[in-house]
Amino acid sequence: MSRPQSWVPTDPRSAPTREHVLSGLKGTDEGGPELVQLLTPEGQRVSDERFGSWAADVGRAELEGYYRDMVLVRRIDREGNALQRQGQLGIWVPLLGQEAAQIGAGRAATPRDMIFPSYREHGVAWCRGIDPTDLLGIFRGTDQGSWDPIAARFHLYTIVIGNQCLNATGYAMGQKFEGRVGNPVGEGPDAGSGNEATMCFFGDGATSQGDVHEGFVWAAAYDAPVVFYCQNNQWAISVPLERQTRVPLFQRARGYGFPGVRVDGNDVLACLAVTRWALEECRSGNGPVLIEAFTYRMDAHTTSDDPSRYRLADELELWKLKDPIERVRVNLVREHGVEQGFFDEVQAESDELAARFRAFCLDMPDPPPERIFSEVYAELSPRLEEERAGYLEYLASFEEEVAR
Active site residues: 297, 301, 310
- Rounded to whole angstroms, what are the CA distances from 218 to 1, 59, 263? 28, 39, 24
Q: Which residues, in sequence order, are CB contacts of 356 under 8 Å at separation 6+?
A: 133
* SS3 at position 100: helix
CA distance 188 to 112: 14
Instruction: Please tell me the chain's helix, strand, coil percentages from 3-state DSSP, rounded to the nearest 5.
Output: 50, 10, 40
| Cβ 293 vs Cβ 199: under 8 Å | no
Cα Rg for the chain, rounded, in angstroms? 23
| Cβ 396 vs Cβ 115: under 8 Å | no
Phi, psi of 244 (to 5 degrees): -105, -25
List the 114-116 sheet strands across, edge first: 114-116, 198-203, 226-232, 289-294, 260-264
Q: Which residues, in sequence order, are CB contacts of 303 under 8 Å at separation 6+?
A: 81, 84, 85, 89, 91, 92, 93, 94
